[in-house]
Chain A
Amino acid sequence: MTGAELSFVVDGLVEEGADGTHLLGSRCNGCNTLYFPQMASCPNPACQTKVLRPETLPREGTLYSYTIQRYQPPALFRMRNWKPYVLGLVDMGEGVRVMGMLAGVEEDELEIGMSLQVVTEPLFDDPERGAVATYKFAPVGVG
């Protein structure tokens, strides 16, 4: 991906590291729970501290489940050359499961448990913002 002029669907979801895209979440100083996306507070009822710091998640996770979105979602969702796409639920470790679009994988290659990594991909083009990107999950070695 070019990366240079790419704006993101929403600020604060990812951080670009030297090794690629990381999801940006929060870790609680009190109970050590890891969250995505960044949280306003810690919802663990047993936690007294509830002070969060930003923390990036590992790049890789495993596919926990998935579906194929066959119908075009409402207009808030914009996509270049709309066609059905895979939506996955990816286990990122420490109990954190994240939903996102999958990239670079054919339907017949999908397998629960497969390794995936976070990537940034252009999602749509906006007259003012140019290419707008989202995070996706791709098989390791793709994207």
Chain B
Amino acid sequence: MRPVYALGAGAHPWGKWPDKPQVQLAVEAMGAALGDAGIGWPQVEGLVAASSRFEGGMGWGLHANEVVQTVAEQGIPCINVGGACAAGAIALQTAYSLIASGQYDVVAALGAERMPKGFIPRPPGSKDDRTDNDYLRWVAMGATNPAYWAIEARRRQHDHGTSAATLANASVLMRQNASGNRYARYRDPLTADDIAASPMVADPLHLLQICPVSDGAAAVILGSEDFVQKSGKAAVRVAGCAIGSGQFGDPARRIPTIASTVREGVSHTSEVVGAVRRAFEMAGIGPEDVDLLEMADNSAWHILAWPELFGFYEAGKGDWMLDNGHLAIGGKLAVNPSGGFLSFGEATTAQALLQVAEVLWQLRGQAEGHQVQNAKVGMTAVLGLGANGGSIILSR
């Protein structure tokens, strides 16, 4: 396998953009990424799109094809990948493989999303019977996504004594980080009192402790060592890049299932933990080497639990780490210096690519307003429906 480098990244700010079609968000993110990489469309040899379930893609998820037909019809391979909220990581993994294999020298990965209002609807044609978990969870008990995260958070309170104040601190930190990030949608600082005053959604999680949905787009351009040397451009090495699916016996309350059979010794959130472990292995490093972690914080619970699951510190220590400032920018491990999903709102398929963009800018020292000083190694971690996990490590 050949080494692979991140040449550049671009994003469209997160928010609600009713006047911009999804393909427009995609084209703008790609344009920004090309500009960041200092190249143009003619140099792009392949495009991998994380396909949205919600709109665009000619109704068939052909988002990459739609983009090139809009801005650059140049015969390149267009690959469209699924993976729900982890699709961006799967797109990046695909682009990585196309270059590592030696087949191409410059490939872009792209995700763009305009989220529907309110609850995410079930896809048309779903079966209304007990074989469809996403039907069962609604008709039999009305289990919303926040309820799944809340069940994890409540159990953590039981196991580790996590307080409401610590859960609030997670949201306070994310907003504090986002305040300096122009791509984040919610940038006003929050106090613990603001969080406590927001409506309870699913105990112990308040509205300001769960991620909303947003529109957004992000793109990352990868290149081979040959290209980097010939072009003389600065680039950051993709040191680890891995995706995975879930393990039998995983104790996580996996959306949208209504039950699971748990087995001793299987990692919680195994789809993501598996990807993280493989990314570490590929990079030949461990948690102690990582300066910043961009991870999917669908709720305040995730900020506490996920770094523990990845081996950054032992189970239960996340509360102390957070409360003592060790997860802040300038702390031992900066978690989501971007502000995370809690400050962006989730634009599903774009989210994992925004994570990689953020890490790239951090390692270059270009994370204006939220820079982790002297960051050398950054990691991403993301989870998608269907037990999809992804993790990418950039290193300079």
Contacts and interface: CB of A to CB of B under 8 A. Distances in A.
A69 B143 CA distance: 8
Interface stretch (B161-169, B252-260, B331-339): B252-260
A114 B119 CA distance: 32
A64 B261 contact: no
A93 B378 CA distance: 41
Interface string A127-143: 00000001100000000
B248 A36 contact: no
Contact of B259 (A69, A87, A96): A96
A38 B261 CA distance: 12
Contacts of B139: 9-10, 76-78, 134
Contacts of B259: 35-37, 96-99
A105 interface: no
Given A37-B130, A67-B202, A73-B144, A112 B155 contact: yes
A41 to B, nearest CB: 11
Interface stretch (B74-82, B105-113, B146-154, B171-179): B146-154
A25 B312 CA distance: 38
B58 interface: no
A13 B130 contact: yes
A44 interface: yes
Contact of A100 (B129, B140, B150, B253): B140
A104 interface: no
A101 B141 CA distance: 6
Interface string B245-289: 000110101000011111100000000000000000000000000
A89 B151 contact: yes
B131 interface: yes
A73 B144 CA distance: 6
A97 B142 contact: no
Contacts of B202: 67-71, 87
A49 interface: no
B169 to A, nearest CB: 20
Most buried by A among B129, B150, B153: B150
Given A10-B130, A35-B261, A97-B262, A67 B151 contact: yes
B158 interface: yes
B213 to A, nearest CB: 14
A129 to B, nearest CB: 12
B123 interface: no
Contacts of B261: 33-36, 94-97
Interface size grouping (class) on chain B: 35 or more
B158 A65 contact: yes
A99 B263 contact: no
B130 A65 contact: no
Interface residues of A, number: 44
B234 interface: no
B151 A87 contact: yes
Contacts of B140: 9-10, 13, 100, 134-135
Nearest to A38: B130
A135 B136 CA distance: 12
B20 interface: no
Interface string A77-89: 1110000010101
Closest 8 CB pairs of A and B: A77-B142, A73-B142, A67-B150, A65-B155, A76-B138, A95-B262, A98-B259, A67-B202
Interface of A: 9-13, 33-38, 40, 43-45, 64-74, 76-79, 85, 87, 89, 94-101, 112, 134-135
Given A67-B204, A97-B262, 4 more contacts: A36-B261, A37-B259, A87-B141, A97-B259
20 contacts: A9-B140, A10-B135, A10-B139, A11-B129, A12-B129, A13-B136, A36-B258, A65-B158, A68-B202, A68-B203, A70-B200, A76-B135, A78-B139, A85-B142, A87-B202, A89-B155, A94-B261, A95-B262, A99-B253, A99-B258
